[in-house]
Amino acid sequence: MIKAIDIHVHGHDDEAIKAMGARNAQMGKYFGKELAPVSLDELADRYREKEMMAVIVNSTDVTSSGIPPVPNDHIADAVRRNPDVFIGFGVVDPWQGRVAVDEAKRCAEELGLRGLGELNPGRQAFYPNDPRFYPLWESASDHGLVVLFHGGMMGSGAGTPGGMGFKLKYTRPIPYLDDVAADFPQLKIIAAHPSWPWQEESLAVARHKSNVYIDLSGWAPKYFPEQLVHYADTILQDRVLFGSDWPVIDPDRWLSEFAELGIRESSRRKILLENACALFGINL
């Protein structure tokens, strides 16, 4: 019996580490730990043991770094081997235009992936509401792909002079995500993380547009601001999702700290499991 779905898990195998380039050492330093590689099958075993499912996200910044991403086929293969625990997301670089649109279609139709992301507007240097990217959101919407956007401050580049050149302005929820959510009402969007320092904007977008979800990944729950906890327990209880952002935060740590928050049992079940089941049409 599945107890929870971790909506935001990064691969950290040899392929993923290679695709991170200089960010692997930088993130390791910033978060105070550099993790050894873990194969996707080993990761699947860990989630199976915890009786949890995991959404494996992919990531790219090929346009700014020149480093090719982990092929989406690599994620899809891992999902095929572990369909009981994995849901897979593919990734595209929006700047690749037609190539990105075609890859989104291939992710859905050929690879059986369920979403796109984690797209990181900061690292990929794009405003999601730029009309040049609208064919991509339209394709995602048409194919039922959930799109997961990183929001707010990011670990990538953090603590280095110039933040490795990444600009935070792209990661602001209003107007960039809000516009996309308004113009593609059928598109399901996940705003990842509490979007600090724009948490209120993220809450407002999710409150206003029912196609927007917030994942609580990348932050230790013991540091969640009171307002976030309150919204997650009340008016946004149907649209907030458990995510760890592993390897940044270990899901066990996330869950034990989350258990300490004053959230009603009914909201807790929704956040940990039921909202993700509804989003992906999973019938347990």
Footprint (CB under 5 A) of Zn ion, residues 113-152: 150
Burial of 145 (0-12, 13-18, 19+ CB in 10 A): buried
Comparison of 107 and 192: residue with beta carbon closer to Zn ion: 192
CB of 168 to Zn ion, least distance (A): 12
Amino acid in the structure at residue 55:
V
The site map against Zn ion for 175-214 (x = CB under 5 A) is -----------------x----------------------
Q: Where are the alpha helices (DSSP H) in the chain?
A: 14-20, 23-31, 40-49, 62-65, 72-81, 98-109, 121-124, 134-142, 178-183, 199-208, 226-233, 251-259, 265-269, 275-280
Amino acid in the structure at residue 153:
M
CB of 281 to Zn ion, least distance (A): 24
Comparison of 59 and 139: residue with beta carbon closer to Zn ion: 59
Instruction: Determine contact, residues 182/211, Cβ cutoff 8 Å.
Output: no
CB of 193 to Zn ion, least distance (A): 6
CB of 83 to Zn ion, least distance (A): 25
Measured CA to CA, the distance from residue 25 to residue 34 in angstroms comes to 7
- Count residues contacting Zn ion (CB under 5 A)? 2
CB of 164 to Zn ion, least distance (A): 15
- In eight-state DSSP terms, residue 261 is S
Query: Which two three-digit tokens encode residue 117?
Result: 């992301």
Instruction: Determine contact, residues 77/108, Cβ cutoff 8 Å.
Output: no
Comparison of 2 and 191: residue with beta carbon closer to Zn ion: 191
Measured CA to CA, the distance from residue 239 to residue 144 in angstroms comes to 17
Comparison of 184 and 246: residue with beta carbon closer to Zn ion: 246
Comparison of 243 and 268: residue with beta carbon closer to Zn ion: 243
CB of 251 to Zn ion, least distance (A): 15
Query: Could you tell me which of 237, 180, 191 has the C-alpha nearest to residue 217?
Result: 191
Cross-strand pairs, 4: 52
Comparison of 218 and 267: residue with beta carbon closer to Zn ion: 218
Comparison of 4 and 7: residue with beta carbon closer to Zn ion: 7
Q: Closest residue (Cβ) to Zn ion?
A: 150
CB of 51 to Zn ion, least distance (A): 25
Catalog residues that contact Zn ion under the rule CB under 5 A: 150, 192
